[in-house]
Structure 1
Amino acid sequence: MDDDVLGSVLAPLRLHGAYYSDWRLHPGWAVRGRPEPRALMHYMFTGSAVVTCQDGLSHTLASGDLAMFPRGAAHIVSGEQCDTAPYISDLLPERLPGASAVLSLGNVAADPVGRMLCAGLDYDPSAAQLLYQLLPDVLIVRARQLAGQQMLQHLLAGILDESDRPGAGAETVQLRAFELAYVLGLRLALATTDTVLGRAIRNPRLAPALVAINTRFGQSWTVPTLAGLTEMSESTFTREFTATVGARPAAYLRARRLLETKRLLADTALPLEQISTAVGYTSTVGLHQAFVRECRVTPGEFRARRRAARADR
């Protein structure tokens, strides 16, 4: 849809290359995840778990609950709350895009106490817009919420069935299914969670302006022209936009343009003159000044640092 705010936020992330693992849980199980540029999902098929985030807050998962980590925040997931656990990167060092694994955790000599499906979707952190960056470390969709969303519920059930009885092309099917499950789960969580992105999605009056900024940032937008898309007066639009997004329209537009500037500096060899035009600045000087003010380095210095960082990998 033209006014799909969630789609306009997720599209630049280029979600791709899912990996997944099927966890068979036994008493004493626990796993720790380091921060990583992946959107993570834990679907509690049977049993229960405790998710402990890096801020110390804990969340209990029951059978049928879905936990999502939009930015791959560090966390511990365990049968009982604990402060330490083996790292998933040590248990499954090769979690490459397209890979899958079955993982037995805890005291495998004892009877199993649960099962969890986990997946990670790679994305481009440099394309994460403000609305995505402000999402909490974890979003949880409860089983009762899933019960009212047949598409997501059937999709998760299908993923489990495919895992138990894989057919031809099972890996490709699973990977695509997890991508869709993440988007559907995120949409469901945002419908009821008090987040900036959730409030933006639930405000249809602002949708035309938000989508325009997110996807057509290279145009010569002004506050009056953006307000015109919403059929609100300039003052009403500015007030409602700021209250919903937490930033004034001009500031949000500038942030989106600078985000794209960073991506183009890092991923292309385009000169700053062409980048300025592509992101909607009328002069190279204007972009240079805005970039330095926001990033505390010049565009040239930013590009050189990114290239050096890549060369060191």
Structure 2
Amino acid sequence: MDVLSDALAAMRTGITRSARTDVRAPWGLRFPAITGTSFHVVLEGACLLMPGGGDPPLALGPGDVVFLREGGEHALADAEDTPLTDFVPDRPDPSSPVGHVHVDGPGKRTILLCGAYQLDRTRPHPLMRELPELVRLSAHAELGRLVDLLAAELARPRPGSDGIVPALIDAMLLYILRAWEEERAADSQSPPGWARALADPVIGRALQDMHARPGHPWTVAELAARRGLSRSTFAERFTALVGEPPMTYLTWWRLTSAGRLLREPGASVRTVAERVGYTSEFAFAKAFKREYGIAPGAYRHQ
């Protein structure tokens, strides 16, 4: 089981929305705060990203990818003093995942892909909580190839583009998170956290076990034995890297998985309870309400 992909799948609440943004200077776009997470890709040209909160502008160039974890208010512009207008994409159809924004001017041209991932921030995975508010990746070989594919699809839409573009954008988020996680894991000075936990040969495999079979009646003793460690040594190592004891994380993951399953059409509370490791529907309902503040049946209908 791929823990990184699994964590994102549990947080997803809807399709990714994006817009090809073709602008000529002078231009400035204001992006309101959203409930998901924002991203921008510079396909051609250059611009300034102006984060909220008074942080200094960040210069972006071709191939740069920026991820804003909290989806807070921010702006993009050709210059700091350019007046801003609201970012309002035109879409050929309300259900279309890709829209368009055009600003005509006499100056230099910039082409961007701007959008948002629909992720549930009320129950973020610990890995997402460790991310800085703004992640910028430049000159990353694998990500660069993905950006080239996106640019080609957006420049000349063809049959299938409405399916290909969202899939490429979703893959981009995984590339962003993996690149950041690998950089952290390679840094011996970085503090303990999910980047190092996933790279750890013992704890990383234990997390894979939990994610692959959340309904299994795992115990600390069994998880430790599968890795050839004593119960106490395993528990200490897991807690040091992940930030919480094994059974605490397992309970969180089971209930997070339950929330995702309850959003699926036709899911019964009993079936979901069994799939995430609860033999008693009553015990599951009690644990779920303690975690979400609402009964699982009401959550499903909501």
* TM over 0.5, shorter chain: yes
Distance verdict in 2 for CA 1:102–1:222, change over 3 Å? same
Contact 2:25 2:108 in 1 (8 A): yes
Q: What is the match of residue 22 of structure 1? A: 21
In the other structure, the counterpart of 1:206 is 203
2:155 is aligned to 164
User: Could you tell which deviates more after superposition, 252-261 or 275-284?
Assistant: 275-284
Q: 1:273 to 1:126 in 2, by over 3 A?
A: farther
Which residue, 224, 233, 247 being the options, matches 1:227?
224
Select the residue among 127, 138, 143 that pairs with 1:142: 138
Give the Å deviation of 1:141.
Answer: 1.0
Q: For 2:284, which of 282, 287, 290 is the aligned residue?
A: 287
Aligned partner letter, 1:29:
G
User: Retained in 2: the 8 A contact 1:29–1:79?
Assistant: yes
Q: Partner residue of 2:31?
A: 32
1:116 aligns with 2:115: no
Structure 2: stretches of 5+ with no match in the other structure:
185-189
CA RMSD of superposed structures (Å): 3.5
CA contact (8 A) 2:47 2:76 kept: no
Please tell me whether the aligned partners of residues 39 and 68 of structure 2 are also in contact (alpha carbons under 8 angstroms): yes
TM-score (normalizing by structure 2): 0.78
More helix by share: 1
* Match of residue 243 from structure 1: 240
Contact 2:35 2:118 in 1 (8 A): no
Q: Any conservation in 1 of the 2:17–2:117 contact (CA below 8 Å)?
A: yes
CA shift for structure 1 position 92: 4.5
- Structure 1 residue 41 corresponds to structure 2 residue 32: no
Identical counterparts, % of pairs: 23
In structure 2, do the counterparts of structure 1 residues 242 and 61 end up closer, same or farther at CA, with 3 Å as the change threshold?
A: farther
Counterparts in 2 of 1:188 and 1:298: CA distance versus 1, 3 Å: closer
CA contact (8 A) 1:25 1:112 kept: yes
Separation in 2, partners of 1:270, 1:164 = 41
**Contact map agreement 2:182 2:195 (CA 8 A) in 1:** yes
Give TM-score scaled by structure 1 length: 0.76
- Secondary structure (helix, strand or coil) at the match of 1:220 reads coil
Structure 1 segment 291-306 matched on structure 2, within 5 A: 291-295=288-292, 297=293, 299=295, 303-304=297-298
Q: Map of 1:39-188 to 2, 5 A cutoff? A: 39-44=37-42, 45-53=44-52, 57-58=55-56, 60-63=58-61, 64-70=63-69, 72-80=71-79, 85-88=84-87, 90-92=88-90, 98-105=96-103, 108-112=104-108, 114-122=110-118, 129-132=125-128, 134-143=130-139, 146=140, 149=141, 151-188=142-179
* Structure 2 CA distance for aligned equivalents of residues 184 and 100 of structure 1: 20
Structure 1 residues 266 and 138: alpha-carbon distance in aligned structure 2, compared to 1, 3 A threshold: same
